[in-house]
Amino acid sequence: MSADPVNTRDRPTLRRLAAVPAGCRGLTEPLIEWLIRICGWSAILFVAAIFFFVLREAAPMLFGKLDLVEFFTSTDWQPTSEVRQRYGILALLVGTLHVSLLAMAIAVPLGLGAAVYISEFSRGRTRETLKITIELLAAIPSIVWGFIAYMVLGPLIIRVTGAPVGVNLFNGSVVLALMSVPIIVSVGEDALKAVPDAYREAALAMGASRWEVIVRVLFPAAKNGLLAAVLLGIGRAIGETMAVLMATGHAVLIPRSLFDPVRTLTATIASELGEAVKGGDHYRVLFVIGLVLFAVTFVVNFVADVVVKGVGSERRA
Amino acid sequence: MTTGPDLARGVDRFTIQTRDLNLWYGDFQALKEVTVRIKPRMITSLIGPSGCGKTTLLRCFNRINERYENVTTTGEIRIFGRNIYDTGVSLSELRKSVGMVFQRPNPLPISIYDNVLFGVRLHMPRMTFSRGQKQELVETALRDVQLWDDVKDQLRRKATLLTLEQQQKLCLARLLPLKPRIILMDEPCSALDAEGIEHIEELVDQLRAKYTIIMVTHNMGQARRISQECIFMFLGRIVEHGPTLEVFLTPRHKDTEMYVTGRYG
Ligand SMILES: Nc1ncnc2c1ncn2[C@@H]1O[C@H](COP(=O)(O)OP(=O)(O)O)[C@@H](O)[C@H]1O
Ligand SMILES: [Mg+2]
């Protein structure tokens, strides 16, 4: 016990605290409590504040001139037309959906596969190297990914597939996938590592192969964490702006093939907000799009929450 | 491990035979020239001071030691006459016939029902059993470990929510549908209270008619109560092996005597 430096150092402090006059302590404790409470509430406060800011900017258009049916069902996005501005975001919505889904179709198997490999198969040096590399991948700024998409992946796609433009749905999805993979890998690996070794041993001792252990034991046991990994990946894909802006070709149309250029909601806001007249219709519509994005992320998170809770319910296995 | 040509010899006399078994964890030698023969349909207890290699020896018999990368083994282990280190031996088949119960109950975090069927699902093709047959397998296995009455209304409940005693019984029950020939137990009672210990002991005693059981225990009373043969290990070697009463009453070695009379930890 005497070798425990933490304890010996702490004890006098505690005594000193206890020796503070009652009146003074009566002030300190509520103060600290309040500080902590404010920290907690401020998170909610910030989200609410951002939401209201966006709502305020969007409101005149949202509750006024904007024809919501046209807004959601038309593919006609002509916010700067001299004659008649049209605000149809269907193509943008579909673009976002396509890019995100395709990105996930690439990133989820890749990410989970890598997580399984790192957690279950790699050892020692290989494992460390892989983990560091993947962390490095997560640290690459969005704009650099856009650059890679534009300068490297684009020309490569043209060369290989003969597509007329290299920046398109496929390019954007690949880049988004690569950006989501690090999150999926690191969260997924944590989830797998958290599964007690006793479970692996139990299954192995009954004659399971390593593969069977992964599929029949680890995946069910880590499903919440793995789901969280995937959802965080999706969040990253939907929310990403700069890279998709540079990688997708920026054409407002519903893609007919993998190699058609598309445009996403985020990229639209990022590229047009700077030019829109502040307080004008175009400006406000961009904020309405912001609300749509808000709603989408909210729904994803909500579904995630329900799924995770439902799947992880204690009563049924 | 089904019957092969060389299984006929000496099958009835010994279930497990090792010869000059050595095992190293890296540079550290945990088993030294272990030569032992274990008889069928009885309980052999494995005793000895902590760290003497009991767990290690037990974990050789289903080759589960090999999941650690730094393990080296030399020598021979024959189970039903066949060397389990032969290249032709399937690990999966070996572990199907040599079941293991661990020190900490480790049911899988799935339902009780699925726990019991876990092994069956590993080893049999998907449609081997009908729903009714599966239900029957589960019931039989749970009855065999006297768990059926406790859990028959909650088969879909997560197994990790059971009490430790129930969990350990379940860990035993899930081996039975695979029809193992040998059951290895590593201090199966060490996480249980007195009542749990008594129940598990009763259970193991009933199972001995059908299976070859090897049980590691640090509880000498337990070894005396339930085992017919007893092996005393010390510093990685087998010091003494014989009928339990002989080992306890007339030990041939000084170390054994010191240990069974409680003069080692
Ligand atoms: N995975 C391992 N790596 C290195 N050394 C180990 C490992 N497992 C056990 N040992 C060592 O081997 C010796 C025997 O251990 P063990 O078989 O667990 O003993 P027992 O079960 O009799 O207490 C001990 O000295 C222990 O420290
Ligand atoms: Mg042990």
Domains identified in chain A and CATH numbers: 8-65 (no CATH), 86-316 (1.10.3720.10)
> Regarding predicted confidence, which is higher, B87 or A19?
B87
- The model's confidence at residue B10, banded by pLDDT at 50, 70 and 90, is very low
Domains and CATH numbers, chain B: 7-109+179-260 (3.40.50.300)
CA distance A127 to A118: 6
Note whether B175 contacts A206, CB cutoff 8 Å.
yes
* Residues of chain B with C-beta less than 8 angstroms from the C-beta of A221: 108-109
Weakest-pLDDT range from B8-17, B23-32, B163-172: B8-17
Cα A126 to averaged position of ligand 1 atoms, centre (Å) = 27
More confident call, A278 vs B265? A278
Predicted confidence (pLDDT) per residue in B100-115, tens digit? 999 999 999 999 999 9
Counting residues of chain A whose pLDDT is more than 90, the rounded percentage is 51
Residue B250's contacts (CB-CB under 8 Å, 6 or more residues apart) are none
Per-residue confidence at B241, pLDDT binned at 50, 70, 90? very high
Q: Which residues pair with B99 in a beta bridge?
A: B183
Please give the C-alpha separations between residue A190 and each of A115, A129, A227, in angstroms, as whole numbers: 8, 16, 12
Query: Could you tell me whether strands B212-216 and B182-186 are parallel, antiparallel, or unpaired per DSSP bridges?
Result: parallel
ipTM rounded to 2 decimals: 0.91
User: Residue B93: pLDDT above 50?
Assistant: yes
**Which residues in chain A (91-150) have CB-CB distances under 8 A to chain B?**
123
Provide mean pLDDT across the span B143-156: 93
How far is A210 from chain B, CA to nearest CA, in Å?
Answer: 10
Looking up tokens 């904020």 gives A287
Tell me which chain B residues have a C-beta less than 8 angstroms from the C-beta of A201. 64, 67, 102, 106
State residue A23's pLDDT score: 57
Going from the Cα of B28 to the center of ligand 1, the distance in angstroms, rounded, reads 9
Q: Measuring from atom 27 of ligand 1, which residue has the nearest CA? A: B51
Answer whether B67 contacts ligand 1 (Cβ < 6 A). no
Quote the pLDDT of residue B59: 96
Q: Give B11's contacts (C-beta < 8 A, 6+ positions apart).
A: B80, B81
Enumerate the residues of chain B whose CB falls inside 8 A of the CB of residue A208: 92, 122
Query: Which pLDDT score, from 0 to 100, does residue A162 have?
Result: 87
Three-state secondary structure readout of chain A: CCCCHHHHHHHHHHHHHHHCCHHHHHHHHHHHHHHHHHHHHHHHHHHHHHHHHHHHHHHHHHHHHCCHHHHHHCCCEECCCCCCCEECCHHHHHHHHHHHHHHHHHHHHHHHHHHHHHHHHCCHHHHHHHHHHHHHHHHCCHHHHHHHHHHHHHHHHHHHHCCCCCCCHHHHHHHHHHHHHHHHHHHHHHHHHCCCHHHHHHHHHCCCCHHHHHHHHHHHHCHHHHHHHHHHHHHHHHHCCHHHHHHCECCCCCCCCCCCCECCHHHHHHHHCCCCCCCCHHHHHHHHHHHHHHHHHHHHHHHHHHHHHHHCCCCCC
Q: What is the pLDDT of residue A305?
A: 75
pLDDT of residue A250: 82
pLDDT computed for residue A300 by the predictor: 80
Sequence-distant (6+) residues with CB within 8 A of A237 are: A99, A100, A103, A104, A107, A176, A177, A179, A180
CB contact (8 A) between residue A202 and residue B121 = no
Does the predicted model carry a pTM greater than 0.90?
A: no
Average pLDDT, integer, range B104-129: 92
- Nearest ligand 1 atom, CA B187: 21
pLDDT for A317 equals 39
pLDDT digits 0-9 by tens, B16-54: 999 999 999 999 999 999 999 999 989 999 999 999 999
Q: What are the pLDDT digits (tens) for B186-223? A: 999 988 889 889 999 999 999 999 999 999 998 889 99
- Can you tell me whether residue B70 is helix, strand or coil? coil
Residue numbers of chain A with a pLDDT score lower than 50: 1-15, 17-18, 313-317
Q: From A316, which residue of chain B is nearest by alpha-carbon distance?
A: B157
**pLDDT value at B154 more than 90:** yes
Rg over CA atoms, chain A: 25
Per the prediction, chain B carries an average pLDDT of 90
User: Is the CB of B217 inside a 6 Å radius of any atom of ligand 1?
Assistant: no
